[in-house]
Amino acid sequence: MKVAVKMALSLAVALGFLTLALAEDKKEVTLKGTMVCGKCTLKICPKCTNVLQVEEGGKTVNYFIEDKGGKAPYHKAICPKDATQKAEITGTVSTKDGKKWIKPAKDGVKISE
C-alpha cells in the first residue's frame, strides 16, 4: 500500500512539472514578416492558407497561421499568385508535423498598408 501511495505521489509531482513546462511554452510572441498564400504563392498547401514568412538567422521561416485560411478577411490581399503583404502577428507559437504554427490572439493580426 505504501508503495502505491509513493508511486501516485511521484506521478502527481511529475505531471505537475510537465504542466508547468508546457505552460511556459505558451507565451505570447509578436512576429513581423511577410504574409503570403501557402497554396497560390508557396505551393506547399492543398488549400489557401495564410503563412507568415519571418527572417530568422539569415533564413526564411514559415509560420502557418491558425485562422480561417482563405476566408480570413486579410486573405484577399495575398491570394493572387505572388502577392505579399507586410504583417505583424501576436499569438502563441507551436510545432505540428514539423511545421511552425502561430495562433493569433484576438485582434493579433495587423496588416501594414
Which range has the worst mean pLDDT, 15-24, 29-38, 45-54, 100-109? 15-24
pTM of the model: 0.75
Cα–Cα distance for residue pair 99/113, rounded to 1 Å: 28
Enumerate the domain spans of the chain.
Answer: 28-111
> Residue 20: what pLDDT?
52
Confidence label for 105 from pLDDT (cuts 50, 70 and 90): very high
The cell numbers describing 53, all together, are: 514568412
Give the residue-averaged pLDDT of 56-60: 94
Q: Which of 18-32, 67-81, 90-104 has the highest mean pLDDT?
A: 90-104
Please determine, for residue 81, whether its predicted confidence score (pLDDT) is greater than 90: no
Please provide residue 98's backbone torsions phi and psi, each rounded to the nearest 5 degrees.
Answer: 80, 5
Give the residue-averaged pLDDT of 76-92: 90
* % of the chain exceeding 90 in pLDDT: 60
Please determine, for residue 50, whether its predicted confidence score (pLDDT) is greater than 60: yes
For the 28-111 domain, the top CATH level (class) is mainly beta
Question: Helices in the chain by DSSP H: which ranges?
Answer: 2-25
Give the residue-averaged pLDDT of 98-107: 93
